[in-house]
């Protein structure tokens, strides 16, 4: 690449993104003249790209809606990058909060209106010495793994390739095709994998049956990765300890759904990455990728159309 680049911004020219682009050394221009596009919207309204566009930066970490809309198929010669990794620290904090709340039995403590100390004792546990399976050891998963180390937890990491995650408390890294080995060995499960056809209902009746009565399942990825009916059944019969869900299927979770009334469930409304934190983190991600584009370097979070993320 040259030392300058023309980058379009849409659908709204948010000021922090303008500063990120120009601060990295690029010029903001009309799409018709652009070499790249920073798109902070969804697939609806995504523009027809001129032949001059080489790269598109998308706003979200999960891009399944763009696949469904055929955006990548219509632009086979364009490099697309997602925001994967940009929001990792915020989401990982939310993940750890859900896991700790479950392990320390906070849902029942919060609901209590009388002193029931002895009733709670048998259910209160610790992460120290426990094994947490982190399913999807990408940006968010790696941040979760790092945050678990001070708590003394062991980690079984699962990623697409099985490339080892190097950390003293990671006891093994499994490739995705060997994920079945993780369930019976895990005390708790964190789901941070992308939503693809291959990961739909990754955790269902058979997988939940291999977990333990104290196991908590935390999902901060997409609701489609867990079979909701199977999860409700496992929560009701006590075959797992509980679930912390920042995402659900369906989403939004409708009023009256059984998950709302289960005492061993924590539901947060997909807010582990709240908007006021998301904007600043995305601007940093954009600035880094613009600088890489100017230098002709590999871009962060490049989307693989064959893999689905």
Say which of 222, 249, 278, 285 is annotated catalytic.
222
Position 83 scores a pLDDT of: 96
pLDDT tier at 112 (50, 70, 90 boundaries)? confident
- Neighbouring-strand partners of residue 6: 27
The CA distance from 213 to 237, in Å, is: 9
Closest CA relative to residue 232, chosen from 210, 192, 263, 255: 263
The CA distance from 48 to 127, in Å, is: 50
**55-58/131-135 β-pairing:** unpaired
Kindly give, in sequence order, each residue whose CB lies less than 8 Å from that of residue 251, ignoring residues fewer than 6 positions away.
223, 270
Active site residue 222: yes
Rounded mean pLDDT of the chain? 95
**Could you tell me the CATH superfamily of domain 6-82+275-295?**
NAD(P)-binding Rossmann-like Domain (3.40.50.720)
The CA distance from 88 to 90, in Å, is: 6
- 151-192 pLDDT, tens digit per residue, is 999 999 999 999 999 999 999 999 999 999 999 999 999 999
- Break the chain into its structural domains and give their ranges: 6-82+275-295, 88-267
Query: Is there a common fold for 6-82+275-295 and 88-267?
Result: yes
pLDDT tier at 1 (50, 70, 90 boundaries)? very low
In this structure, what token pair is assigned to residue 271?
A: 């807010």
Active site residue 14: no
Top-confidence residue, 277 or 181:
181
Active site residue 251: yes
- 20-40 pLDDT, tens digit per residue, is 999 999 999 999 999 999 999
Output Rg (C-alpha) for the chain, integer angstroms. 21
Helix or strand (DSSP H, E) at 174:
strand 170-175
Say which of 14, 214, 251, 292 is annotated catalytic.
251
Across the beta sheet with 154-159, the strand order is 170-175, 154-159, 131-135, 188-191, 216-219, 242-245, 265-267
88-267 CATH pick, 3.40.50.720, 3.40.50.880, 3.40.50.300, 3.40.50.2300: 3.40.50.720
pTM metric for this prediction? 0.90
DSSP 302: B
Say which of 123, 185, 270, 292 is annotated catalytic.
270
DSSP 271: -
Sign of CA dihedral 141, 196, 273, 180: negative
């Amino acid at each position: 690449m040259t030392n300058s680049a023309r980058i379009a911004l849409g659908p709204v020219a948010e000021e922090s993104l303008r500063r990120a682009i120009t601060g990295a050394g690029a010029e903001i221009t009309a799409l018709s003249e652009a070499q790249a596009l920073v798109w902070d919207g969804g697939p609806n309204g995504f523009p027809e790209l001129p032949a001059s566009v080489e790269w598109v930066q998308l706003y979200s970490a999960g891009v399944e809606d763009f696949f469904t809309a055929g955006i990548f198929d219509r632009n086979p010669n364009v490099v697309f990058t997602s925001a994967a990794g940009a929001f990792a620290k915020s989401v990982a904090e939310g993940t750890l909060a859900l896991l700790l709340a479950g392990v320390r039995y906070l849902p029942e403590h919060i609901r209590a209106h009388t002193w029931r100390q002895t009733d709670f004792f048998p259910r209160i546990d610790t992460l120290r010495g426990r094994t947490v399976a982190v399913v999807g050891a990408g940006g968010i998963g790696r941040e979760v793994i790092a945050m678990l180390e001070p708590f003394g937890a062991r980690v079984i990491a699962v990623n697409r390739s099985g490339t080892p995650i190097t950390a003293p408390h990671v006891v093994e890294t499994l490739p995705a095709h060997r994920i079945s080995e993780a369930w019976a060995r895990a005390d708790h499960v964190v789901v941070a994998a992308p939503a693809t056809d291959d990961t739909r209902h990754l955790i269902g009746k058979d997988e939940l049956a291999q977990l333990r009565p104290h196991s908590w399942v935390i999902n901060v990825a997409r609701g489609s990765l867990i079979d909701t009916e199977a999860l409700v059944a496992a929560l009701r019969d006590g075959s797992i300890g509980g679930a912390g869900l920042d995402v659900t299927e369906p989403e939004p979770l409708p009023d009256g759904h059984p998950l709302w009334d289960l005492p061993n469930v924590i539901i947060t409304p997909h807010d582990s990455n709240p908007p006021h934190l998301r904007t600043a983190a995305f601007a940093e991600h954009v600035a880094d990728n613009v600088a890489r584009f100017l230098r002709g370097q590999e871009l962060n979070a490049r989307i693989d159309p064959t893999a689905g993320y």
